[in-house]
Amino acid sequence: MNILLAFKAEPELTMLPEQAWNDAQHGSLDLSYARYQGGADEQAAAEIVLRQQATLNLTALTVGDTHAEPFMRYLNALGFARLVRIVPPKEAELRFSPQYIAELLARWVEQHPQSLILIGSQSSEGNNSQTGFWLAEQLGWPVLAGVVDFSLDVESEQVEAVLIQNDERLQCRVQLPAVLIVMNDGRYSLRVPGIRQKLAASKAEIICAPTEQANTQPDVKLKREQHRRVAQKIEGSCAQEKAQKLYDKYLRG
């Protein structure tokens, strides 16, 4: 059974020195030396699938530049045998383009059939929570959101998922193929590989799949809206005088 973990590499901002934040006040935040890794949701999804008893063909896939490769090799040390990095055009906007990301993932999946796709529910950058739904729509697959746990039934080609919807814990069984949008509820933490596994993974092959597919999303420009309310300051020598003026001018009918 082929299982795909689609993750987004994010910079670990908590590891940045204070000087980097000070410099960012006069320009952009320098992330060139930051460590990148998958989000908490994707790490939970990876841990859950690694706990499955069945023999699975695990693939880790991301869209982006080389910053994601150290974490990809980390996943390889844990058991993800296939590592794929989709390389979009340099001018492509990835943070606010869930439909575009989904198109790239769907095109790859159509060429490399999968039984189950695992994806996180949100990310620190963009945080649109839409990519998984766009991907399922383009593939025509069922999708479950808010998944906190799941187990695979290889013989019947089904997945039994536990999900949280409207503060209620539900249990569903879905026929594969399917897309699971995983949410980390704090129960699972990604395991740490041993030294030998890390050394072996340092030479793991990462398949780079360049794409010339243009970004279908329009350019996004953020503008801060100013919300101001008219205010008038009440002057007075004491609190009693201010209260009397408030009552006489504004409260008394």
For the stretch 191-208, pLDDT in tens is 999 999 999 999 999 999
What is residue 171's predicted lDDT score, i.e. its pLDDT? 94
How much is the pLDDT for 175? Answer: 95
Cα-based distances in Å from 37 to 52, 152, 238: 23, 26, 58
Q: Please, which pLDDT band fits residue 233 given cuts at 50, 70 and 90?
A: confident
Q: CA dist 167 to 146, 163, 170, Å?
A: 10, 10, 10
Q: What would the mean pLDDT of 227-238 be, rounded to a whole number?
A: 80
Q: Please say if the pLDDT value at position 42 is more than 90.
A: yes
pLDDT in tens, 90-128: 777 777 788 889 999 999 999 999 999 999 987 766 567
* Matching residue, tokens 């973990």: 5
The mean pLDDT of 139-166, rounded to a whole number, is: 94
How far is the C-alpha of 33 from the C-alpha of 45, rounded, in Å? Answer: 27
Q: Which residue has the higher pLDDT, 26 or 132?
A: 132
Q: Give the chain's radius of gyration (CA, Å).
A: 24
Question: Which residue's structure tokens are 């693939």?
Answer: 59
Q: Which contacts of 33-38 are long-range, i.e. CB under 8 A and separated by 24 or more positions?
A: 35/11, 35/70, 36/9, 36/10, 36/11, 36/12, 36/67, 36/68, 36/70, 36/71, 37/9, 37/10, 37/12, 37/70, 37/71, 37/74, 38/7, 38/8, 38/9, 38/10, 38/71, 38/75, 38/120
**How many beta carbons lie within 10 A of that of residue 120, not counting itself?**
25
- Threshold 0.85, pTM exceeds: no
Q: Give the pLDDT of residue 152.
A: 95
As a whole-number percent, the residues of the chain with pLDDT over 90 amount to: 57
The pLDDT assigned to 212 comes to 73
**pLDDT band for position 36 (50/70/90)?**
confident
Instruction: Output the average pLDDT for the chain.
Output: 87
Q: Which residue has the higher pLDDT, 128 or 238?
A: 238
β-pair partners for 83: 60, 206
